Amino acid sequence: MTAARYDVIGIGNAIVDIIGRCDEAYLATIGASKGSMRLVGADDVKNIYATMGSAVEVSGGSAANTIAGVASFGGKAAFIGTIANDEFGKIFTHDIRSIGVEFDVAPIANGAPTSRSLILVTPDGERTMNTFLGISTSLDESQLNLDLIRDSAILYLEGYLFDEPQAKQAFRKALQTAKAAGRKVALTLSDGFCVDRHRAEFLELIRSGIDILFANESEIKSLYQTESFELASKNASKDAKLAVLTRSAKGSVIFSDGNAIEISPEPISELIDTTGAGDLYAAGFLFGYSKGYSLEICGRLASLAAAEIISHIGARPEIPLNQLAQQRGAI
């Protein structure tokens, strides 16, 4: 097996996050419940974008956030996701490349617009998300750069993208390609609703070659249809070579070869925004794993990244994560 040029490559929804501030009265005018995440249509997203005021526009989506985190740790990272040949497609491409991530997917000229999420932050720090999925869910095998996958130590798959038949087929093709090249494959379950829709297929995918499974407590209990975390984690440790399970304020647990490694959460001065916590947790773990660090250190890096991201608004680190890890003595 040849040495990998990239540490981690992610496949997921390519979404432009548009983050702005508003008051609760504005949320009422657009019919959004504070703190919710809802899917909106093309007309709705245009109207909200036109009236929401000044905003910051960054490349987003769950796996893209994770890959950005890997890059912030100093890792070599790449991303595959579908964008349109439009203004927001150009914004996504420019932004993710600007942080050092390899992104070479050609935009699609004739189809739905680039996906975006309008994230409205009220004075209390609560985020209300209005997501237009657009073209991101149309990923198929033709957009996979198989050489890039073969040249990456770890392939990271985003569960959110598992809805469409052609995307499922692309996942399986990517997994087969990575395994044939002797690479590791990681999967995040992403959301309890994703698990409910695709439980049997997720289990088949996990059992067919997933090396690292990421899930939070509610997702893993949903996967195994139990209210017991202990039972769910026991099953996960049998099905996946490595099960990495987060438990919010309780920290996380890494299951490997029948052993459970407890990882304490990193202390923070104030909880501002939990969006992106799981994404950045995965970033820290995957970076550490790609560098051959112990599972304990991987878990520490994961918790460190998650703690940094929940201490401010937005799913991008405010300081380089490699610098933070060195300051805290994690690496």
pLDDT recorded at residue 273: 75
User: Does the pLDDT value for residue 164 go beyond 80?
Assistant: yes
CA 182 to chain centre: 23
**How confident is the model at residue 276, as a pLDDT?**
85
Instruction: Of 239, 301, 294, 212, give the one whose Cα is nearest residue 261.
Output: 294
Q: Is the pLDDT of residue 7 over 80?
A: yes
Reported as a single tens digit per residue, the pLDDT across 83-121 is: 999 999 999 999 999 999 999 999 999 889 999 999 998
| pLDDT above 90 for 324 | yes
* Buried-state track 183-206, b at ≥16 Cβ within 10 A, e below 16: bbbbbbbbbbebbeebeeebeebb
Single out the residue of 132, 123, 116, 117 nearest to residue 21, CA to CA: 123
> Would the pLDDT of 308 be above 90?
yes
For the entire predicted model, the pTM comes to 0.93
**323-327: which pairs have CB atoms within 8 A and are 24 or more residues apart?**
325/73, 325/301
Q: What percent of the chain has pLDDT over 70?
A: 100
Pairing label, strands 252-256, 259-263: antiparallel
Alpha-carbon distance 35 to 31, whole Å?
12
Q: How confident is the model at residue 270 (pLDDT cuts 50, 70, 90)?
A: confident
C-alpha distances (whole Å) from 20 to each of 24, 115, 129 are: 13, 17, 11
Q: Give the pLDDT score at 275.
A: 75
Mean pLDDT, the chain, integer? 93
Structure-token pair, residue 277: 């916590």
Average pLDDT over residues 287-306: 98
Instruction: Indicate the pLDDT class of residue 162, thresholds 50, 70 and 90.
Output: confident
Interatomic CA distance for residues 107 and 36, integer angstroms:
30
Q: Is domain 6-12+62-111+138-327 in CATH 3.30.930.10, yes or no?
A: no
